[in-house]
Amino acid sequence: VIVATGYGDIDTVVDAMQNGAFDFITKPIDAERLIRSLENAGDQVKLYRELAQLRKERWSDQYWVQSSSKSMDSVNDLISRAAPTPASVLLTGETGTGKSLVAGLLHGQSPRSDKASVTINCAAISDHMLESELFGHEANAFTGAGPRRKLGLMEVADGSSLFLDEISTMKADLQAKLLRALEERVIRRVGGTKEIAIDIRLITATNKDIMQMISDGDFREDLYYRLNVVEI
C-alpha cells in the first residue's frame, strides 16, 4: 500500500506506516517519486516471494528421513501424502525414533508452513498448567494466574500446526475438553465465557500403546479416532 495525501504531518505518516503502508507520498504527487516508490515496492514483494520459496525448499526431498530401509521409505511416503492435507496425524513409536522430526516435516511440507508451528510436551507440564497452556486463561482466573489474560497455544497456533507430544499422558477431563475443541473448532479460555474460533492442524505423538490404554479406560476412544485420521 502506498498512501498519497495532502496532509503530510508527521502523525499521519507514522499512523499510515504503523498500519502497513509501504510508502507515504504527499500531494501534489511527483511522478518520478511515485515510479521509484512502485519499483521499490515491487522489489520488496519479490524478496518476500523468494523467501517463501526458500522456506519451502528447506523442506524439500533432501530433508526427508534419510534411510535405506523399506520401512523408512514407507514413512517418507506417508509424510509426503499426509503433509499437504489438513488431516490430524498420530505419530507412534518408542522414545528416540524421530517423532518430533516427522512432526516438523509434516508441518514444513504443509500449506501452513509460512507460519511457525507450535509444540508442547504434555508430559512435562502438570495437569492444571497444561489446561492453561493449551486453552489460555483470563485475568485472575485462578490462584497464580496473574492480572493479565494469557493466550493458549491453541490460539497461538491458529492458522498453523500444533504438535502435542506425549498426548497419552493427558488426563480424562482435559481429553474431553480437547475433543470438544476439535469437534466444534472453538475453545474457551480458563475462567472465560467467550468461545474463540480456531483453525489448527493437529499432530500428536505417543510412545504408549493407545489401544491398550483405551481398553483400560485411560484414554478416550472418541478422541483417539479424532487424532488418528492418519497414523505414522
Least confident range from 60-69, 106-115, 169-178, 205-214: namely 60-69
Tell the residue number behind the cell numbers 500428536, with chain if given: 204
> From CA 52, how far away is CA 6, in angstroms rounded?
36
Higher-confidence residue of 226 and 37: namely 226
Give the H or E element holding residue 229.
none
Across the chain, mean pLDDT equals 83
The neighbour count for residue 209, using CB atoms within 10 Å, is: 13
Q: Is 8 exposed, middle or buried (0-12, 13-18, 19+ CB in 10 A)?
A: exposed
Q: Are 131 and 111 in contact (CB under 8 A)?
A: no
Task: Supply the DSSP symbol for 166.
Answer: T
Q: In the predicted model, is pLDDT for residue 84 greater than 50? A: yes
User: What pLDDT, on the 0 to 100 scale, is given for residue 20?
Assistant: 65
> From CA 103, how far away is CA 27, in angstroms rounded?
52
Compute the radius of gyration of the chain from its Cα atoms: 23
Q: In the predicted model, is pLDDT for residue 50 greater than 80? A: no
What pTM value is reported for the model?
Answer: 0.70
Summarize the confidence of residues 199-220 as an average pLDDT: 96
pLDDT digits (tens, 9 = 90+) for 121-169: 999 998 878 998 999 888 877 777 777 788 899 999 999 999 999 999 9
- Kindly list the distances between the CA atom of residue 152 and the CA atoms of 169, 170, 174, 197, in Å, as whole numbers in the listed order: 19, 16, 14, 13
Hey, which CATH number is domain 67-231, 3.40.50.2300, 3.40.50.300, 1.10.3720.10, 1.20.200.10? 3.40.50.300
Nearest alpha-carbon partner for 204 in 171, 166, 160: 166
User: What pLDDT, on the 0 to 100 scale, is given for residue 11?
Assistant: 62
> From CA 65, how far away is CA 85, in angstroms rounded?
19
Q: Are 189 and 183 in contact (CB under 8 A)?
A: no
Query: pLDDT over 70 for what percent of the chain?
Result: 80
Domain coordinates in residue numbering, the chain: 2-57, 67-231
User: What pLDDT, on the 0 to 100 scale, is given for residue 207?
Assistant: 94
Q: Are 219 and 227 in contact (CB under 8 A)?
A: no
